[in-house]
Structure 1
Amino acid sequence: MNRWLGALLLMLLGASPALADELRPVSIQFEQRDSHGWRVAWKQPLSSPADDRFAVPILPQGCRIVGEPLREMAALAVIGSAEVACSGDVAGGSVGWPRLTGQGDAILRIAPLGRSEQVYRLTAAEPTATIAVRPVAAQVWRSYFVIGVEHILAGWDHLLFVVALVLLVAQAWPVVKAATAFTVAHSLTLAAVTLGFAGLPQRPVEALIALSIVFLAVELAKGGRDTLARRLPWFVAFVFGLLHGFGFAGALHEIGLPEGQVPAALVSFNLGVEAGQLLVILGVLILRAALCRTAPMAEVPALRLATYAIGITSSFWLIERIAG
């Protein structure tokens, strides 16, 4: 158990700021212009400003790029586009990305004329997708649900917020209520941003998200004292959830939402986030209960160490994001 606790603490202390709120898959759009003409556009994340990789999506057989692909540099990403000529129907053909490795993934959107838009999540194990004649209705739901789960499990700042909330509240049902309030709040903000009713610059949002984790770490450091976060954890979670929703909106902006299926994508993404949160809550509660049962004297020092780890990590993110 002590080994598990040590691994958790090392994970928290080693959380890379660059991965704090990252949802940066490759984004590919394959859009039909007319009976034979298509356009492919893609956004390829880069690991650093010195990274000069430039890949081109895999296209169906019978399709070829016309002329040279256009290339434009953006912040830690390269944006490419090209006109494509296809002979015959592309249904049954494969579209994908040639350089998916490890945990990397891609979001592929295919927009044929007169047919429903198709959305696929590509992985290193399945780097291509087959264009369907008639896409399955649950396709968008499934893809964006998985994206939501992954964003909680791989988005360090949202993950640390949930972990800190669980450690602060400790009891299962109040934690679930607080996490649900967090989900409801960020769902409202995310929908408002997506539909154009609200918006904030991403840099201050990221700094404020880090500050929300610092706040919970400070509350944890106060021990058993009566505080607002301990009395009304659902209220604190709801208020900060509104803020975290702007972060989710920035992440979804990176991959885009399927035209005509935005509500389905938003709902399934939020359901995925809630499912991911419940997995994290369950894992932390089980770990803490096992620690209390096997080594009760270690609970207080372990909680203190976890508090310091969360506080140091989130403070570092806060300073880095303010400094730019």
Structure 2
Amino acid sequence: MIKNRTRKISDATLLCCWMLFSGILILFSTTIFADDLRPIYIEVEQIENDQYGVRIKKPPKVTEANRPSVVFPDYCQQLAKTSNVRLRAGVPVAVADIWMCRQSIDGEELVLRYPLFIVPNPAIVKVISLAGASYTIALASGDTRWEMPRAEDINGIAKQYTWLGIEHIWIGYDHLLFLLCLIWIAGTWKRILVTITGFTLAHSVTLALSALEIIKLPVPPVEAVIALSVVFLATEVAKGRSHSLTWRRPVTVSSSFGLLHGLGFAAVLNEIGLPQTEVLSGLLFFNIGVEIGQAFFAILVILLITLVQKIAGAKIDIKQWSQRGVGYSVGCIAAYWLFQRVMGFAV
């Protein structure tokens, strides 16, 4: 009787812990839904030999009162604000700020300044030269300074685009939850390795084809179907082990959906731009960054499951015991994303 009572207490404790975890996940999911960590996009474009136009696109959660601005070196002077300026190809484009500099700012440090406080969002800086060449610089969360590029350098591209890929996968919550479900279903180390490899190869193909504009699909429907893919896997997890194709051959499902997720990665890459003269290098290192981010996440999940299993003891299969909680929690979040994204392009 004492043993049974102890086991009941142990089960009740684990159940309470899991309910608390699910509650915290759902509570903080509103932050995830709001895309709080979407990057700030900054474009610095050389208009004339001595003039630069600056445009900044901020996510909704960065308030207008805290809209950042770019500060140039001391030998530059900010001109009066204007609503239009003639840029390359002679097209009038709205610009927030125009700076005139007595000398080139190549290699100089520019600063992103916030009126109130520094936000945790990462930033993507796109620099466009007078000749039309563009360069992309990734700023990590909290970074506010960057060096203006002199010319495209393979080492710089490798560093910037690898970091871009890592950062994107870690703030791409839909991709992470998809990976979590894949790991849950695959089970063993060998099956996890094969499943994630299939996902990687598949999304690498569509990432390359879409980034190089060989195939083109509208982004909103793609994002909606990615959310649907997470709902599908979460449902499979909640149902538990079965004879369905997903449980028998998870690599088939991961590869199929991987083609779709690659289009999502490409949408981000197309938005920030590839290097002008090192297109393939930028594409390669971005993909490498995505794979590094995936690998770290997978290892972290596996270690966490192993740790919780050791704490729970051999009598309780923690994955089987908690699979409904995981499935329902992930499914609710993904269903919200699906509704939000469908409404976004359907309205």
> Shorter-normalised TM-score: what interval?
0.7 to 0.9
Q: Offset of 1:190 from its aligned partner?
A: 1.9
Distance 1:234 1:115 in 2: 43
Q: Which residue of 1 aligns with 2:22?
A: 9
Q: TM-score, normalised by structure 2?
A: 0.79
Q: Which residue of 2 aligns with 1:281?
A: 298
1:85 aligned residue (100, 105, 112): 100
Distance 2:246 2:181 in 1: 11
Q: Which residue of 2 aligns with 1:311?
A: 331
Q: Offset of 1:178 from its aligned partner?
A: 1.7
Is 2:82 the counterpart of 1:62? no
Query: Aligned with 1:104: secondary structure?
Result: coil
Residues 95 and 313 (structure 1), Cα distance of their counterparts in 2 relative to 1, 3 Å cut: same
Distance 2:340 2:285 in 1: 32
Distance 1:275 1:7 in 2: 31
Q: Deviations over 1:133-187 (max 9, x none)?
A: 5665311211121121122222111110000100111112221222222222222
Distance 2:62 2:152 in 1: 38
Q: Offset of 1:32 from its aligned partner?
A: 3.4
Distance 1:60 1:200 in 2: 41
Higher helix share: 2
Query: Aligned with 1:68: secondary structure?
Result: coil
1:268 aligned residue (265, 280, 285): 285
Q: Deviations over 1:244-303 (max 9, x none)?
A: 122222222332333222222221111111111111111111122222222142613322
Residues 218 and 264 (structure 1), Cα distance of their counterparts in 2 relative to 1, 3 Å cut: same
CA-based RMSD: 3.2
Distance 2:226 2:110 in 1: 36
Q: Which runs of 5+ in 1 are unaligned?
A: 72-78
Q: Deviations over 1:70-116 (max 9, x none)?
A: 48xxxxxxx74544321123244211311373421212233556898
Q: Offset of 1:306 from its aligned partner?
A: 1.0
Q: TM-score, normalised by structure 1?
A: 0.84
Distance 1:168 1:209 in 2: 18
Query: Aligned with 2:227: secondary structure?
Result: helix
Larger Rg: 2
1:219-230 matches, cutoff 5 A: 219-230=236-247
Q: Is the 8 A contact 1:183 1:241 kept in 2?
A: yes
Q: Deviations over 1:224-256 (max 9, x none)?
A: 212211222222111111111222222223323
Q: Which residue of 1 aligns with 2:44?
A: 30
Match of 1:46, as an amino acid? P
Distance 1:49 1:105 in 2: 12
Query: Aligned with 1:206: secondary structure?
Result: helix
2:54 aligned residue (41, 45, 49): 41
Query: Aligned with 1:97: secondary structure?
Result: strand
1:225-264 matches, cutoff 5 A: 225-264=242-281
User: How many percent identity over aligned positions?
Assistant: 30
Is 2:162 the counterpart of 1:148? no
Q: Which runs of 5+ in 2 are unaligned?
A: 1-12, 85-93
Distance 1:114 1:51 in 2: 33
Match of 2:124, as an amino acid? I
Distance 2:266 2:24 in 1: 26
Residues 223 and 92 (structure 1), Cα distance of their counterparts in 2 relative to 1, 3 Å cut: closer
1:191-210 matches, cutoff 5 A: 191-210=208-227
Is 2:118 the counterpart of 1:98? no
